[in-house]
Amino acid sequence: MARSALLGSSLAKKYWMALTGLFLVVFLITHLAGNLQLLDMSPAGQLKFNAYAKFMTTFPVVKAVSYLLYFSILFHAFDGFLLAFQNRKARPVRYVKENAGANRTWASGNMALLGALILFFLVVHMKSFWYEMHWGAIGTDADGNKDLYTVVAAAYSQLWYVALYVFMMAVLALHLFHGFQSAFQSLGLNHPRYTPVVKNVGVFIAVVVPVLFALIPVWMFVNR
């Protein structure tokens, strides 16, 4: 296949968007499972979370997957903006009825805006935790592990920061709401019996994952 067909066409872009997007959903679910440990704010829970964070930043297989993750985030964002730009150029004036179709929602027409907000969130989020874990002047806990728990708890003791997370999880919910089912369509995985199931799974993920993510800062703020 010619290079332009593999990477350049708008169909190819959608295909790669779908693959990287579904990989990011898998990451989100595992990231959530790990972070739910933060709900245990006892001293033992703090040590457990720090040991988990150490494992996630040092175990070679996880480290390798992390590089794939960074690449996927950048690729998904870059490809998404290119696609939105191409669509704009092809149709500078939006059809008035564009959002009136059966599969059209506010989220589906604003995926690039939602994606841009998530990218902004990721920059703030990674500076707060990921950068601190890797390069920050971070203390150690009783087990000698980097005390990431205290960094997270300090961040979530600020109301504005908690509010930002809750708002951003609503943005994430809208992005997932359209993105999950759209990925299956882009991959050509349409089936009269399974497509409704995919849609329902998408709605479930779009609600449950962001709500549980948002619960963590709220819980830590309330119990600080």
State yes or no: residue 35 binds ligand HEM (CB under 6 A). yes
d(CA 71, CA 61): 16
Region from 12-20, 75-83, 197-205, 213-221 binding ligand HEM, contact rule CB under 6 A: 213-221
Place of tokens 């369509």: 185
Which residue from 12, 19, 31, 81 is in contact with ligand HEM, where contact means CB under 6 A? 31
State yes or no: residue 129 binds ligand HEM (CB under 6 A). yes
CB neighbour class for 28 (10 Å; exposed up to 12, middle 13-18, buried from 19): middle
CA dihedral 72→64→7→119, nearest 10 degrees, is 20
| Contact criterion met (CB below 8 Å) for 65 and 23 | no
State yes or no: residue 126 binds ligand HEM (CB under 6 A). yes
Which residue from 107, 133, 171, 205 is in contact with ligand HEM, where contact means CB under 6 A? 133
State yes or no: residue 155 binds ligand HEM (CB under 6 A). no
Region from 3-11, 121-129, 139-147, 184-192 binding ligand HEM, contact rule CB under 6 A: 121-129
Name the minimum Å distance from CB 85 to ligand HEM: 22
d(CA 211, CA 188): 30
Residue 188, sorted as left (phi over 0), alpha (psi -120 to 50) or beta, turns out to be left
State yes or no: residue 176 binds ligand HEM (CB under 6 A). no
Place of tokens 């980097």: 146
State yes or no: residue 216 binds ligand HEM (CB under 6 A). yes
Identity of the residue, 12 or 56, whose beta carbon is nearer to ligand HEM in the bound complex: 56
Residue type, 221: F
Rg (CA), the chain: 20
Residue type, 118: I
Identity of the residue, 126 or 170, whose beta carbon is nearer to ligand HEM in the bound complex: 126
State yes or no: residue 77 binds ligand HEM (CB under 6 A). no
Name the minimum Å distance from CB 13 to ligand HEM: 21
Which residue from 75, 81, 130, 161 is in contact with ligand HEM, where contact means CB under 6 A? 130
| Contact criterion met (CB below 8 Å) for 38 and 218 | no
| Contact criterion met (CB below 8 Å) for 14 and 185 | no
The residues binding ligand HEM (CB under 6 A) are: 28, 31, 35, 38, 53, 56-57, 66, 69, 118, 122, 125-126, 129-130, 133, 148, 152, 165, 172, 213, 216-217
